[in-house]
Structure 1
Amino acid sequence: GRIGEYAVIARRKGREWFIGGMNSGGARSLQVPLDFLEPGRTYEARIYLDDPTLPTRTHVRIDHCHVTAATELTMVMSRQGGQAIRLIPLTE
């Protein structure tokens, strides 16, 4: 990231990974390579992102997809928004 503009960080707990992104300025889109994941394993990505069009109190949309270490996710963050991703390994 860039100090005062945006930050993206990944942390692991057990076999699960968590990615968080925060944005300070205008809307932005970032490519996030997942090459830190265990090769040969598939993960479920639960992606939590701002969506002001949703008729809910929090305006948070939750998307799901399958990813691997070869995947590069696009992290879209609204103006002064953020995104959180939980990566859960699928059973063997």
Structure 2
Amino acid sequence: MKRLLLILVLGLFLPAGAQAACYLEYKAKKDAPLRLHYGVMQIDDGGCPGANRAQNIAERRLDGTGWTLLTVVGLSEQPPSDQKRANAGEYFLRY
């Protein structure tokens, strides 16, 4: 009985800890003067969301910062490469 209870308890908690983060790559702009940037956001949402939800998350995070989302470039559960980190510069995991 104790084993069954232990298995049930572990079954409830292990999946939550095993959920992967999702990395969202995006492009954004600011007007007057026009400025563009490429960035990477981390989403801890139990994996990568669908395209519409990803766009909504990025728009919401950028809202109020003066940046406007242009496009979601990609989604990945793999950590970004060093090249992507370098390309994002100060916008790597900023929002």
Q: From the two aligned structures, give the one with the greater helix fraction.
A: 2
Q: TM-score, normalised by structure 1?
A: 0.34
Q: TM-score, normalised by structure 2?
A: 0.33
Q: From the two aligned structures, give the one with the greater strand fraction.
A: 1
